[in-house]
Structure formats: structure tokens, C-alpha cells
Structure 1
């Protein structure tokens, strides 16, 4: 089994085991609270919704003030620490290569887990404590898999799955727990389909159902109280890549950007899905907004988002025949790619190829060759960009 395949599997399994997470509540009917669990307290649900809306909109100061009040009121409950951790997760999500928030994220999760474990030790039937432990260990697994800390990731994922099973049986939690089931059902089938060598490994896990997993995600995205936005996040990613449903991906990303207009991840995803369905003018409009926010230093808007936005603008100008403007924004894409250390990304490599073609057309063969050589430097030999660069050099005698 190659290292790349092992990484893909562990990453996906940690995502699949992420279990329940808190997110923007939307408009579902508030359930009753016969169990006395804090998560099902009606008044607190509305307060959490307001704070989490602020968090998803990258207004972390407002969100954390509300989270701190909850922490003061419920010092022994895992909810406030988990909410704090969730805010740092979204800071990480914008650019997962940035490790500056890792320690504080893990610290808040550890505190939430410790509080949940104390509750669970006193009452092993407490579904709410198990709910938080599944979520806490699941998020730890997601981060550790991103950091290629495979032993820690596997340990966290195993704990997440254990507590997800233990948290079942409380009817009010079912929509929230369904997210973990949905992701597991989908990816436990997707992995062996895409990596046949892993079929023996996946045989150790329960049998999944990809169609059911997608259906469950759609149910959570429409009906859950706490996990709604997280389900929508996974849905638009699957619609765009695996399910080949770009217009459904666009529909969800448009909603999320409209609901949380200052969230850079949702913003660039909206621009990307507009680009994918050929709505070029709209994609360019959103991309210019992204670049403007980067220039103004708006929090969360950084080089990774800039790489996306500059590329869509460059592609638009290239297609309409404005080579000068295309060159300008391909160069921006390359610059942002280097700043974010994304030299192996498709946008970075394609931009170099386009710059090489532009310079070839302008009779600047020496400069063109430099661009193609950089493609060969950063792209693996089997990568389509590497082959295109080799073929172009040979054909044009660069």
C-alpha cells in the first residue's frame, strides 16, 4: 500500500468519524427537553444559534463573548469549551497548512473532553456526554490526519466511533448523530471503490451504503438543529467532486455565502462553483471581491483564497482574448501559490503553463521555457501538467 493511499484513507476515515458537531441551527422546530440535557434547552439553543452564526461569519470576537458567558454559567459542562474549539477549527479550515491555531484548538478540545468524561464516569448512560466525546475526539482526528500524525489520528478516530455508538438511543439527538452515520456510510464505500487495494482493510469496518450516506447528509442538511451547516459543507464538496452535480454544489455554496458573507471559505467556494458551471461574469465579480478583501487585510482572507480568485479572473481574461490581463492574474495566481506553498496545486501549475503559452506567442521563448521548467520541477512526472509541459517544449522547440 503506497503512502499516498494510506494518507487518503486515514484522512477520509478521520473525517467520516468526526461525528456530531455544532453549527448554525437554521429554522427547524425546537425539540422538547425531557432529558434535561443542556444541548436540548430551548432558550440556550437560540443563544447558541446567534453566537454560532457570528462564528461562521468570522466574527469571532462576538461569538466568543457569548461562549464565555455560557462558560461562566456552566463551568463544568463541555459545551462552552467545545464551542471555543469549533471557532478555532474554522480559522484552521480556511488554510489547513497553517498550524498557528493547532495548540489552542487541541487545548479547548481536551478541556471539553475532560469535562465530558467526568460526566460520563458519573453516569455512563449520559448520552449528552457521549455526544461531546464523539465530537471532540472526531475533531482531534481530523486535525491529526491533516498533520499526518497517524497514530494520534487513529486513536482519536477509534474513540470517536466508540462514543458515537454509546450516544445513540436519545431520540432528540438522532438528527445530529446522523451526520456521523452519513459520512461513514458514504466514505466506507467510496474508499474501496477508488482504492481497490484497500478492500481488505475496509472489510474490518461495518458495511456502508454510499447512496444512503448521501441521502442521510441531505436529511441532516435540511432538518438538523446543530449539524446543519456542517452537513451542507460536506454536501457541496461531494456534489462538486464525487457526485458530478455542480449546480447542486453551487446552490448550497450560494446559500452559505449569502448567510455568512464574511466567511472566506464559503466565499471562495461560491466563486469556484460559479466558475465550474460557466457563470464566468459572476465568478469574476466574486473573485475581485475576494482579492479586494485580501488587499484590505480582512481577517481570514489570505493567499490560499487569493490563489483561487486570481486564477478564475485570469481564466476569464484568457478566454475573452485579453492576454495582457490574463498574464497579470496568472502571475498573481503563481505569487499567491508560492506564498501559500501550494506549488503542486493544479491552479499553480496550470497558471505556469498558460504563462508559458503567452510568452511563446509573444516570441519570448527563453521566458516561456522558464515557466515550463518550473512546471516540470513541481509536478510529478505522471501529472498531466508535466506531460503538457514536456510536449509543448518539444513541439515549439523551446
Structure 2
């Protein structure tokens, strides 16, 4: 988690969107159209978006995009439909952020949404909805640019996102959704300089946050918001698991999200991971095997990155119970998936090589064992714990 947070979370994660979490309403009530001038506050449209985004979260992109296309036809000058299309591509990216296949089309839809929002804003600088879309659009741009280590672009996008977030304030009905942006900003603007001291000069360009307040705000959004509940839950289980040392809370949320969106591979592998973390290993193995089966079946969104996670949990379980043959089989799968997704520096990949080296050493296959440890030394930085473990094991066992 920490590697991915980096500068990306400094600049952009707090700035998401008003309706990512709209799918939380499983049986929404159809309300009469709003008298507001803002399309986002049209209750009838909210209901239609709910169904479409439910499909998007569940990785049924054809269904979601047909609904988004209808909205685009009905509101060709409004940023909403282009923004929704971008969301679908963001979730494709989120499954494996190292894959750049969808970057261009994602940015194209965001650019179109931003252009339409800017036209509305230029005509009426008091239009809160236009400012809201610009904040969201620039936020997502910054989020991607930070993943790609395009720091200058990420900084520009992040500052624009903050500017438009401030300009979007004042519409009472938007306030619960804006709280997600406040929450993420408050948390990460403190957490980032604590964990990355070299980035303190960058963070000095932004307002001062409050990490504990940010966490409280995020919990409030996750419990009470309409539009942003699911996205807040997504961030909460990541924070609980990796930063707040609350693994059971992370499991609770990921279990809910996987149950609601069973075909979302990100939620699926997160659920398997959190089961493993709290010691519910047989359940984790069951979920992990289902992930591998879905990869074999070429189910949408299930790919090598998810396979690396799933194979590792199965391997670790078998190693713990003394089934070295099965452990070796799944450590090899972890390594293969890691190479397919070009994740050779990941902890799961490196640890799998170490375990394979130990298994081969026990089997008196020292030459093969040495090859595995040499690969650890090749891909791990010298200060990485895996590199030290490999060096020490080679020395101790005279490989």
C-alpha cells in the first residue's frame, strides 16, 4: 500500500467524485425530479445512474456503458456522461495499475468532461456543479499521473482539483459528498510527510490537514453518504489494513463489498487477502482458488495481478500445513503471475522465490535453490529484507 500511496495520494486521492458510491442503494426509492438547476441533484437521474454504476462496480461494463451512452445522448453538453465513461475505465486500470492499456481512453473521457464543465463554468462562475466536475476530473487526472510518476502533471492536476473543490462549496446538497474530499485530504496531507520526509516541501504547497479528523470524516461518509459511500469504504479498508492496524475492520468492509459486487476482482482479491491476514486461511484459500478459476475462464477483470495474490495465499497455507509439494506448485504460480504482470519487485514475488529456494534446499537441490536466491538478489534492492534473507541463507547453507 505504501508504495502506491506515495506522491499520488499526496496530490489526488482526496479529490474523487460525487457519485462513485452511488451503487450503495440496493433498492433505491424513485423520487420526483429535483427543482434544482443541477443535473446531479435530479433524483430520477440518480436512480438511473445507480443501476448503471452498480453494473460498473460489478465489472459488467457493456451494460453500464449502454446506460451511460443513453445519458450522453440526452445531455450531450453536460460533463456527467463522459465522466461516467471515464469511471468505467478507471476501474479497469485499478485492477492492475501497472497496465497502461486504458490510460489514453480514460484521459480522453476526462478531458471531454473537463472541457464541457469549463464551458459551463465560463458562462457562469457561480455554477457549483461545473466546479464540482472540474474538481473531480482534475483529481482523477492527478491520480493517474501520480501512478505513472508524472509528478509535474500530477501536481498541476492536484492543485486545480483543490481550487475547484473550494469553488464548488456552498450548495448544501453537495456537502455530504464533498466530505470525502476533505476526509482524504485531511488524512493524507499529514500521513504523506510523516512517511515520506523528502516530500515535505511539496506538501507545504497545500493547506495543513488533520489525520485523525480525516479518518473520522471518512468513516462518516462510509456510513451516511449516498453518492460516495462505496468509494469511502474502498479507501477505509485500505487504510484499516495498511496504515491503521485494524485488520478485522478491513475484512468487514471488503467482505461486504465482495458480497455486493461479486464479480469485481479488486474487491474479490482484497477479501481473500483480509481473510488470510486475520488467520481465516481455509476461507482465504477457497476465495483464492475461485480467483484462479476465474482467471482460467478469462472472466472480465481477472488477470495476472489478481492471480499473483491468490496463488500466494494458497501457497502459504500449504507451506504452513506441511504440504510442500502443493506449496511449491503455487509458489511457482505466484512467480509466473508476477513475471506476467511485471511485478518482480513485489513482496509476494520475492517471498515466493525465497520459499522455493528453501524447498529446493531441503530437497538437496542446491543448484536450483541458488538460482532462486540469485533471482531475489537480482530484483530486490540491497536494503530490502528479502535481499538480506537471500544473502544470509546462501551463506548459512553454503549454496
Give the TM-score band, short-chain normalised: over 0.9
Q: Gaps spanning 5+ residues in structure 2: where?
A: none
Distance 2:75 2:337 in 1: 44
- Name the CA shift for 1:69/1:227 in 2 (closer, same or farther; >3 Å): same
Match of 1:257 in 2: 258
- Name the CA shift for 1:257/1:8 in 2 (closer, same or farther; >3 Å): closer
- Name the CA shift for 1:273/1:79 in 2 (closer, same or farther; >3 Å): same
Match of 2:126 in 1: 125
**CA positional deviation for 1:21:** 4.2
- Name the CA shift for 1:6/1:199 in 2 (closer, same or farther; >3 Å): farther
Post-superposition CA distance 1:351-386 (Å, at most 9, x none): 000000000001111111110010011001110000
Q: Aligned runs of 1:224-373 on 2, under 5 Å?
A: 224-373=225-374
**Contact 2:193–2:199, Cα closer than 8 Å, also in 1:** yes
**CA positional deviation for 1:159:** 0.9
Match of 1:165 in 2: 166
Range with greater deviation from structure 2 (270-279 or 25-34): 25-34
Q: Gaps spanning 5+ residues in structure 1: where?
A: none
The alignment partner of 2:226 has SS state of coil
Residue 19 (structure 2) pairs with residue 22 (structure 1): yes
With structure 2 as the length reference, what TM-score do the two structures score?
0.95
**Contact 1:369–1:393, Cα closer than 8 Å, also in 2:** yes
Distance 2:198 2:292 in 1: 42
Match of 1:79 in 2: 80
The alignment partner of 2:244 has SS state of coil
Match of 1:42 in 2: 43
The alignment partner of 1:321 has SS state of coil
Match of 1:215 in 2: 216
**Contact 1:85–1:108, Cα closer than 8 Å, also in 2:** yes
Distance 2:336 2:205 in 1: 45
Post-superposition CA distance 1:3-51 (Å, at most 9, x none): xx99964212233342334224224887983432111111110100000
Post-superposition CA distance 1:276-298 (Å, at most 9, x none): 10100100000000000000110
Post-superposition CA distance 1:159-213 (Å, at most 9, x none): 1111000000111001111111101100111122223344444333211111110
**Contact 1:18–1:141, Cα closer than 8 Å, also in 2:** no
Post-superposition CA distance 1:71-123 (Å, at most 9, x none): 11111111000000000000000011111111111111111111111111111
- Name the CA shift for 1:221/1:31 in 2 (closer, same or farther; >3 Å): farther
**Contact 2:219–2:236, Cα closer than 8 Å, also in 1:** yes
**CA positional deviation for 1:229:** 1.1
Distance 1:306 1:216 in 2: 34
Aligned pair count reads 394
**Contact 2:169–2:175, Cα closer than 8 Å, also in 1:** yes
Distance 1:367 1:204 in 2: 52
**Contact 2:11–2:159, Cα closer than 8 Å, also in 1:** no
- Name the CA shift for 1:227/1:350 in 2 (closer, same or farther; >3 Å): same
Match of 1:194 in 2: 195
**Contact 1:52–1:63, Cα closer than 8 Å, also in 2:** yes
**Contact 2:10–2:203, Cα closer than 8 Å, also in 1:** no
Match of 1:104 in 2: 105
Match of 2:63 in 1: 62
**Contact 1:17–1:160, Cα closer than 8 Å, also in 2:** no
The alignment partner of 2:218 has SS state of helix
**Contact 1:17–1:157, Cα closer than 8 Å, also in 2:** no
**Contact 1:17–1:161, Cα closer than 8 Å, also in 2:** no
Moved over 4 A (4+): 5-9, 28-32
Match of 1:11 in 2: 8
The alignment partner of 2:15 has SS state of coil
Match of 2:89 in 1: 88
Residue 236 (structure 2) pairs with residue 204 (structure 1): no
